[in-house]
Structure 1
């Protein structure tokens, strides 16, 4: 089967999918879609025809189109079950989804590019305000996520001693936290888990700076 990923080097949603593709050992064709150049290539008619929401990433699997990063992560784990990136038991899968959504639905959406552009255009937010906005929401999200992990969920990784889909969500959000200057001192469990992830080749290969479209 041929896999194509429409991606952008600094998109944390695409970063999640790259991690999982690498953990699965899957070859794929990366098709960069620049979110800034040309007014945003994702807003062009050709890409909108593929992704009506004009969002990244989009995965093409042997002609089948899969959108939304969280859906793509689970799709890949279900269609390529080895190595498994979700626990076998329902309670474990629920916990991993809880950790995924703590990032993917609570932290990430309020700090993505279109939100930052909107508060700039509509409310006159300058770069300093956008940075403060991002730090506020990442920090608030990490306050809760640190407690979830420290309650005993985390082993070496977010859930147990092998990577799961939760780690694929955490690492890109941590990258954003570093980018926006969040004080990470209060989050020792998050930092420990991210360090374990970043030691793995699959995570290194997925990193923004390792992408062919990185400046």
Structure 2
């Protein structure tokens, strides 16, 4: 058979851990943009992130990491913005500058999670909430304090982040965080709320705007296909 002369494009690879909220948001972005990718599991409990092979991909030893041809990108926000700029189909940022700013604010709050120095929404999740509930931090807390104190501490931290997000979004949300279309803020909110409910049994009653958004995400296959429980490295249910 004659060679067409066209080289087959190598599939993108996403180095991921099923329970990582950072990897979760990247999976949503890939799904929304309709991009095919290979899922490469990195078992954080087993210490795969410290292996020489993975350190060649990401010297920091964190997930997620995306390999797109010769390009390697780590950090979830950097990956999402890379995808946004290279693959413009299904934009993740609204054209309205005010709404765009709110999306960036949500990211900041989610990422910081503990210190609400950035009182904004994408920023609230990305900077204020998520880092303080990751595996390393939780393990350290378990070693230093008892389970009851850990639970109280988590509820306090998540509550502060959710309170900030609720206030930020209550006046601007539609079906989703910043209107009736899914944007960047939703990619950061969905994993955070999912983790808060399934891992830490957080009551969403005080946060009706966030709860409404989360219920709306359940109707989107791009979000549901990205949930931790559906990933290939998720533990099998008994």
Query: Normalising by the residue count of structure 2, what TM-score does the alignment of the two structures yield?
Result: 0.84
Q: Distance in 2 between matches of 1:105 and 1:85?
A: 19
- Considering Cα pairs closer than 8 Å and 6+ residues apart, tell me whether 1 or 2 has the greater RCO: 1
User: Which residue among 23, 26, 49 is the counterpart of 1:42?
Assistant: 49
Q: Corresponding residue for 1:88?
A: 95
Which runs of no fewer than 5 residues in structure 2 stay unpaired?
1-8, 107-121
User: Which residue among 180, 191, 195 is the counterpart of 2:215?
Assistant: 195
Q: Distance in 2 between matches of 1:201 and 1:33?
A: 24
CA distances 1:64-106 after superposition (whole Å, capped 9, x unpaired): 0011001111111111111111012433322111111110001
- Residues matched between the structures, number: 210
**CA-atom RMSD in angstroms:** 1.3
Q: Corresponding residue for 1:19?
A: 28
User: Which residue among 38, 49, 70 is the counterpart of 2:77?
Assistant: 70
Which runs of no fewer than 5 residues in structure 1 stay unpaired?
none
Structure of larger gyration radius: 2
Q: Distance in 2 between matches of 1:128 and 1:49?
A: 39
1:5/1:60 contact within 8 Å kept: yes
User: Which residue among 182, 185, 191 is the counterpart of 2:202?
Assistant: 182
